[in-house]
Amino acid sequence: MAGDDAVPGGPIEHPAYGVVRPVTDTASVLLADNPGKMTLDGTNSWLLGAPGSRERIVVDPGPRTRAHIDRIVDAADVPLVLITHRHHDHTGGIPRIARLTGAPVRALNPKYCRGGEPLRDGEVIEAAGVRLTVVTTPGHTADSVSLVLDDAVVTGDTILGRGTTVIDSRDGTLGDYLASLDRLSDVGEGKRLLPGHGPDGADTAEAARAYRVHRQQRLDQVRGALETLGADASPLAVVKLVYADIDKRLWPAARQSVKAQLDYLRS
Ligand SMILES: [Zn+2]
């Protein structure tokens, strides 16, 4: 993997497509070329491994894009693939990376495992010269996990590099999500944020607390909206009032988020 000295003009910055971008001594990222309103600049595939070796654990092979998976496989020897959660922009590449590397694929949800056991909360994994702890962080989805390294945390979509996370109405809940943010603020102190989308951040705990504050503000706004609209207002009516400031194309996502907040407030 190229060090900073190999790059004319200094370190590579996010977003960098098509190149492996070093972030910490043991973590680098390959950004998939799948930008979109729900993926920001695209999905981050994280490569974790000791310096001086080609071995890398792959966290989230990313979307089902041939070129992206081929780049990962060209850049590293892969002994293990880990999955942060079920969304297709993180898991679509599983069949190809499993076929090309023969590495076991492990996720919390057995449906996404290939030749490996489901992940367990608190489990310590050692591979490619690094050690990490699996921490379940449900909320964005029920099967979301974060991976805690010595100096960084891979957060999947639980915390993003910018903006906020959507609670997936299929199986995510705001109650779980708030508890997961608290958990990340406990385990992430002083550790770099390695998110599923967007740029990496200086401190995972700080990011978790900022997300907590933002959620609390939105909850207060939704409570306020219910006072105006009546206690049984629809999610869309609340969106139109509370999210008036955001792009209308984001309303479906906001509606999901508001639905999660209403479920939380009404439960
Ligand atoms: Zn996701």
Distance 174 CA to ligand 1 centre (A): 15
Distance 131 CA to ligand 1 centre (A): 24
Which of 22-36, 101-115, 192-206, 234-248 has the weakest average pLDDT? 234-248
φ, ψ of residue 95 to 5 degrees: the values are -60, -45
pLDDT digits (tens, 9 = 90+) for 145-178: 999 999 999 999 999 999 888 888 889 999 999 9
Distance 87 CA to ligand 1 centre (A): 5
Distance 206 CA to ligand 1 centre (A): 21
Distance 13 CA to ligand 1 centre (A): 23
**52 token code pair:** 């001086």
Q: What are the angstrom distances between the C-alpha of 48 and each of 26, 37, 78, 90?
A: 5, 27, 10, 16
Q: Quote the pTM value.
A: 0.92
pLDDT confidence of residue 2:
42
The percent of residues above 70 in pLDDT, for the chain, comes to 96
Domain ranges of the chain: 4-203
Distance 46 CA to ligand 1 centre (A): 15
Distance 86 CA to ligand 1 centre (A): 7
Distance 140 CA to ligand 1 centre (A): 7
Ramachandran region of residue 201, left (φ > 0), alpha (ψ -120 to 50) or beta? beta
Distance 49 CA to ligand 1 centre (A): 24
Q: Which fold has domain 4-203?
A: Metallo-beta-lactamase; Chain A (3.60.15)
Taking 60 as the threshold, does the pLDDT of residue 144 lie above it? yes
Distance 250 CA to ligand 1 centre (A): 16
Q: How confident is the model at residue 245 (pLDDT cuts 50, 70, 90)?
A: confident
Distance 144 CA to ligand 1 centre (A): 8
Distance 73 CA to ligand 1 centre (A): 23
Q: What are the angstrom distances between the C-alpha of 15 and each of 92, 135, 141, 210?
A: 21, 27, 25, 23
Distance 80 CA to ligand 1 centre (A): 21
DSSP 3-state helix, strand, coil percentages of the chain (rounded to 5)? 35, 20, 45
pLDDT digits (tens, 9 = 90+) for 51-91: 999 999 999 999 999 999 999 999 999 999 999 999 999 99
pLDDT confidence of residue 6:
47
Distance 85 CA to ligand 1 centre (A): 7
Distance 247 CA to ligand 1 centre (A): 20
Distance 11 CA to ligand 1 centre (A): 28
Taking 50 as the threshold, does the pLDDT of residue 48 lie above it? yes
pLDDT confidence of residue 90:
98
CB-side neighbour CA atoms (13 Å) of 158: 37
pLDDT confidence of residue 8:
56
Q: CA 193 to CA 27: how far, in whole Å?
A: 11
pLDDT digits (tens, 9 = 90+) for 101-137: 999 999 999 999 999 999 999 999 999 999 999 999 9
Work out the number of other CB atoms within 10 angstroms of the CB of residue 150: 12
**97 three-class SS:** helix
Distance 167 CA to ligand 1 centre (A): 9
Mean pLDDT score across all residues of the chain? 93
Distance 115 CA to ligand 1 centre (A): 23
Q: How confident is the model at residue 256 (pLDDT cuts 50, 70, 90)?
A: confident
Taking 50 as the threshold, does the pLDDT of residue 5 lie above it? no
Q: CA 93 to CA 61: how far, in whole Å?
A: 5
